[in-house]
Amino acid sequence: MEFREEFKTIFDRLRAEISKVIVGYEDIIEQVIIALFSGGHVLLEGLPGLGKTLMVKTLADVLDLTFSRIQFTPDLMPSDIIGTNIMERDRAFRFQPGPVFAQIVLADEINRATPKTQSALLEAMQEHSVTVSGTIHKLKEPFFVMATQNPIEMEGTYPLPEAQLDRFFFKLKLNFPDREELMSIIDRTTNPETPRAEKVLNGEAIETSKIEIRGVPVATPVKDYAVRLILATHPELETSPSMVRRYVRYGASPRGVQSLILGAKVKSLIEGRYNVSFSDVRYVTRPALRHRIILNFEGEAEGLDTDMIIDNILEEVPELENEPVKP
């Protein structure tokens, strides 16, 4: 079986097992898996009680990976995350690893901790290692962080700086379940037997898949489309849509286009193709760019959302450069 067919089979099994436990959120589950196989991390925004912790724990179960949860609070210190050196009876120092030394880490309510503590986790995300007393300690691969945050307007939060937001591959938004989903939640969580997900994959297979995914070909017009989407987020360029020039302060960084292409490669395999299409790029544009576009004062005063800006960009930027914009 070639890799394209094998990966689609794996993804279908992953989604089926996770869906045994998690009600709804089909797109969220798919996008979390895309980020994982792309080698990125996810920032998940939503109110408490929507199943974020259960989703990440279930993902760790089906992938047979170690899991830890870090509850971020204002008094959390960097050493509480990465670990510290402790003195033993023989007066020798031994490194005591912190909870970040797991393969899937849930950083719960990351915007409740101080910027100093946030940066300790974000450094581990970037380098896949931590440094304590001048010694570098490597993290076990695959290493995947899902950080959750409450909506910014809630009290007692420290918004993540723009440069640190950029380190997340995707930003996903959890909406409140609808009527049917709430009924399913009742059935699954209040009966004597609760559903359990079975293991589908292991860490070694994930690392092998990551290498294969990077080999998925991308045609030049598709790459050019992704580049033009990124350029369209920059208000200083005359070619950017008028909405961007009016309401955006800063556009997406080069990490944005990397996320578009890598995410689109995984999406193409999920759809059973070994080549990236324009639709694959469009599918990942919202989660890849919504946290990389910074609104100006006028945009915030108007109550705009970066998703509105992205939707406008997708309407204004044609797939092919010489193609007329749809009326």
Q: Which of 227, 234, 253, 237 shows the shortest CA–CA distance to 309?
A: 234
Instruction: State the Cα angle at 255 between 79 and 290, rounded to 5°.
Output: 90
Distances in Å between the Cα of 2 and the Cα atoms of 37, 63, 212 are 18, 21, 11
Structure tokens at 297: 């004062």
56 found inside a domain: yes
Residue 71 has which token pair?
A: 């509850």
Taking the CB of residue 57, how many other CB atoms lie within 10 A of it? 15
pLDDT of res. 221: 95
Q: What angle do CA 80, 82, 84 make, to 5 degrees?
A: 75
Q: Give residue 117's pLDDT.
A: 86
Residue 155 sits in the same domain as residue 244: no
274 part of a folded domain: yes
In a domain, 268, yes or no: yes
Q: Of 204, 237, 252, which marks where a domain is finished?
A: 204
Q: Are residues 23 and 138 in the same domain?
A: yes
The count of domains in the chain is 2
**What CATH number is attached to the domain comprising 95?**
3.40.50.300
Domain containing 109 equals 3-190+199-204
Percent of the chain with pLDDT over 70: 96
185 and 226 part of one domain: no
* pLDDT tens, residue by residue, 216-275: 999 999 999 999 999 999 999 999 999 999 999 999 999 999 999 999 999 999 998 989
Could you tell me if 150 and 68 lie in one domain? yes
pTM: 0.89
- In sequence order, the 6+-apart residues with CB closer than 8 A to the CB of 18 are 29, 55, 58, 59, 62, 197
Q: Check whether residue 137 and residue 219 sit in a common domain.
A: no
Closest Cα to residue 242, out of 299, 291, 281? 299
Residue 307's CATH number: 1.10.8.80
Distance CA 293, CA 303 (A): 15
User: Cα–Cα distance between 276 and 222 in angstroms, integer?
Assistant: 7
